[in-house]
Amino acid sequence: MKIISNIDELRDQLSGQLRTAFVPTMGNLHEGHLSLMRLARKHGDPVVASIFVNRLQFGPNEDFDKYPRTFQADVEKLEKEGVYVLFAPTEKDLYPEPQEFRVRPPDDLGNTLEGEFRPGFFTGVTTIVLKLFSCVQPRVSVFGKKDYQQLMIIRNMSRQFALPTEIIAAETWRAEDGLALSSRNMYLNDAQRAEAPALFQLLNHVAGEVRAGHLDIMGLEQSAMAHLAGRGWQPDYISVRRRMDLQSPTAADLAAGAPLVVLAAAKLGTTRLIDNLEI
């Protein structure tokens, strides 16, 4: 595997490649990331991964400085997966001058759910993803459903800018007890790790209620939030949304059986976990 930090060198290395499959990451790779590499391999060749902890998508009180950086272990994992190039730029490589041009997602999609609790987050994500696409020029790129709203925003960005990159969705990789794998799980202590699967259990409960015809969605969301709070969590949201645009379903949507997804974000101690489940 070639490890490249410089944009010109990356372009030289990938010149003439028309079927590149790209997986952008912030490192601290776990089995969930590796499943993205395997899916990428099914959709293209060569597989290119990137590791870059993107300052632009962290708020002032978020964990940019303490975000886990495990570069050597990540390299070994990617080598085992047969990744052809790891693009691992420094901040100077990617932001040699202040990144003043930004890509701002539309308000209805970018300022709801995660966007409401993490102002500026999605602008940071779309800006770096567009820049990484410009460096790698992939034919396809794989994103996990774990970050459901991110996936949808990037898919819409790619479509609206007519980017030549098809966005592929990968299923969420879960531990045996249901907890969605995430780099942030490592912040959990033993008691919190034992409690953490309650989030996915609750999503299953809400999804089950909706499937069974429970139409008081707001009441369902409120009692789910109260349930989590009662177990010692600090929930930001548990929300049933339409899959097509992540807006709240209308009565007509519910009557017509529109495809839905339930999304949640909640803090356990100081660790913020997110998860979702398609209904």
Catalytic residues: 33
Strands 260-268 and 271-278: antiparallel
The site string for ligand PAF over 185-224 (x = CB under 6 A, - otherwise) reads: ----------------------------------------
Min CB(225)–ligand PAF separation in Å: 25
181 is in an annotated binding site: yes
Point out which span in 20-28, 41-49, 70-78, 197-205 binds ligand PAF (CB under 6 A): 20-28
Kindly state whether residue 125 participates in binding ligand PAF, applying the rule CB under 6 A.
yes
Is 227 known as a binding-site position? no
Binding segment for ligand PAF (CB under 6 A), chosen from 94-102, 125-133, 201-209, 247-255, is 125-133
Nearest to 89 by CA among 25, 41, 29, 183: 25
Q: How far apart are CB 27 and ligand PAF at their closest, in Å?
A: 9
DSSP reduced 3-state for 141 = strand
Cβ–Cβ under 8 Å, residues 151 and 145: yes
Minimum Å gap between C-beta 15 and ligand PAF is: 24
> Could you give the 3-state DSSP secondary structure of residue 191?
helix
The reply to whether 265 sits near ligand PAF by the rule CB under 6 A is no
What does DSSP say about strands 234-242 and 166-170: parallel, antiparallel, or unpaired?
A: unpaired
Element (H, E) at 114: helix 114-117
DSSP one-letter code for 171: P
Q: Does 110 bind ligand PAF (CB under 6 A)?
A: no
Q: Rg of the Cα trace of the chain?
A: 19
Helix (H, G, I), strand (E, B) or coil at 241: strand
Residue type, 271: T
The region of 90-98, 124-132, 166-174, 190-198 touching ligand PAF under the rule CB under 6 A is 124-132
Secondary structure (3-state) at 166: strand
Cα–Cα distance measured from residue 1 to residue 81, given in angstroms and rounded to the nearest whole number: 10
Nearest to 35 by CA among 96, 95, 77, 71: 77
Task: Enumerate residues 35-94 that contact ligand PAF by CB under 6 A.
Answer: 54, 57
- Pick from 25, 28, 158, 276 the residue near ligand PAF by CB under 6 A: 25
> Among all chains, which residue has been given the structure tokens 């964990």?
63
The answer to whether 220 is annotated as binding is no
Answer yes or no: are the C-beta atoms of 103 and 61 closer than 8 Å.
Answer: no
- β-pairing, 21-25 vs 47-51, is parallel
**Does 129 engage in binding with ligand PAF (CB under 6 A)?**
yes
Q: Which of 48, 103, 128, 140 binds ligand PAF (CB under 6 A)?
A: 128
Q: Is 32 annotated as a binding residue?
A: yes
The answer on whether 218 is annotated among ligand-binding residues is no
Specify binding-site residues for beta-alanine.
Answer: 57
Task: List residues near ligand PAF by CB under 6 A.
Answer: 24-26, 54, 57, 125, 128-129, 147, 150
Specify binding-site residues for (R)-pantoate.
Answer: 57, 150
Specify binding-site residues.
Answer: 26-33, 57, 144-147, 150, 181-184
